């Protein structure tokens, strides 16, 4: 496996919350689950909170003024939940930079080549590595040259995703100084990595809970919620989708096609149903 000892630049880690007890998180597990399933109002709350903690505890006394490039977790077409947290994190960080006469951040994307149906949060550490190591990550080397890189994700469980990022940087011969930021980090190795799945689904147990988020929060599609909806039993999916607006039906169809979910047999019946409804 790849470790940061192989990396030639410096890596600074920061996590907004450190989880040592599977029953005490320091933040609302209900809100975290809603955030993972499309509640952008909670993404705003989390992004602002992470920015405040990062600036106060890690950044303001050590920043050297070099241009920062922010990179959210890799995605292909549909953004992840952490992408939307990144949007609001950047707002707060930019405000700090502007007030102190520093350049505001730039942004770029980590491109990936593989789309998964599997739920990453259900996997062991080894299974995570086996899955993600078959993917190919890419970043624009010329764009990030001589800049500080800030990689942002919602939670660190085993560190597999971070190791793949470091491999990507090494393969591209990039040795920039980096920040690795997380909203939360599991620091107790005695807790199974499947704890992530428990946290992701703390509130969302079925499509009725997804519908609750759609109706009562500021909802936006992300990778997880699109996969969850498409993976539902067709009868449950039909009952759920019949209660959504025409715009919702159209938008989830476009999301499914954009992320090539038609390549997965388990999703095809529900995608075909959407085709007939739009």
pLDDT cut 90: percent of the chain above it: 83
Residues of each domain in the chain carrying CATH 3.40.50: 4-200
Distance CA 150, CA 179 (A): 5
Dist CA 266 CA 278 (whole Å) = 20
pLDDT at 160 over 50: yes
* Tens-place pLDDT, residues 64-80: 999 999 999 999 899 99
138 backbone dihedrals φ, ψ, rounded to 5°: -145, 140
Q: Which of 200, 160, 220, 174 is nearest to 8 (CA)?
A: 174
For residues 235 and 238, what is the distance between their CA atoms, to the nearest angstrom? 5
Grade residue 129 by pLDDT with cuts at 50, 70 and 90.
low
What is the average per-residue pLDDT within 85-107? 98
pLDDT of 71 reads 97
Which residues share a beta bridge with 75? 111
Q: Mean pLDDT, to the nearest integer, of 129-151?
A: 82
Beta strand 148-156 with 137-138 is unpaired
pLDDT at 118: 54
Residue 15: name the closest of 145, 163, 186, 165 by CA: 186
pTM of the model: 0.90
**Angle 263-208-78 (CA atoms, 0-180°, nearest 5)?**
35
What per-residue confidence (pLDDT) applies to 1? 36
How much is the average pLDDT of 147-155? 98
Q: How confident is the model at residue 2 (pLDDT cuts 50, 70, 90)?
A: very low
Whole-number pLDDT of residue 3: 46
- What fold is seen in the domain 4-200? Rossmann fold (3.40.50)
For the beta carbon of residue 187, count every other beta carbon within 10 angstroms. Answer: 12
State the chain's maximal CA–CA distance in angstroms.
57
């Amino acid at each position: 496996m790849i470790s940061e000892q192989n990396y030639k630049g410096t890596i600074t880690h920061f996590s907004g919350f450190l989880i040592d007890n599977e029953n005490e998180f320091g933040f609302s597990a209900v809100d975290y689950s809603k955030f993972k399933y499309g509640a952008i109002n909670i993404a705003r709350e989390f992004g602002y909170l992470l920015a405040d903690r990062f600036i106060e505890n890690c950044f303001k006394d050590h920043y050297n003024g070099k241009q920062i490039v922010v990179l959210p977790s890799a995605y292909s077409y549909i953004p992840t939940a952490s992408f939307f947290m990144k949007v609001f994190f950047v707002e707060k960080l930019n405000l700090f930079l502007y007030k102190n006469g520093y350049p505001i951040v730039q942004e770029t994307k980590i491109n990936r080549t593989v789309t998964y149906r599997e739920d990453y949060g259900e996997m062991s550490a080894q299974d995570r590595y086996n899955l993600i190591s078959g993917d190919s990550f890419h970043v624009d080397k010329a764009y990030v040259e001589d800049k500080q890189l800030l990689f942002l994700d919602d939670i660190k469980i085993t560190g597999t995703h971070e190791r793949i990022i470091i491999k990507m940087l090494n393969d591209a011969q990039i040795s920039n100084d980096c920040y690795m930021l997380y909203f939360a980090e599991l620091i107790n190795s005695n807790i199974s990595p499947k704890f992530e799945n428990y946290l992701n689904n703390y509130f969302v147990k079925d499509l009725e809970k997804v519908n609750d988020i759609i109706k009562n929060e500021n909802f936006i599609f992300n990778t997880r919620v699109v996969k969850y909806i498409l993976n539902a039993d067709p009868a449950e999916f039909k009952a759920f989708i019949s209660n959504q607006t025409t715009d919702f039906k159209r938008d989830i169809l476009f999301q499914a096609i954009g992320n090539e979910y038609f390549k997965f047999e388990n999703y095809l019946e529900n995608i075909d149903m959407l085709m007939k409804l739009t």
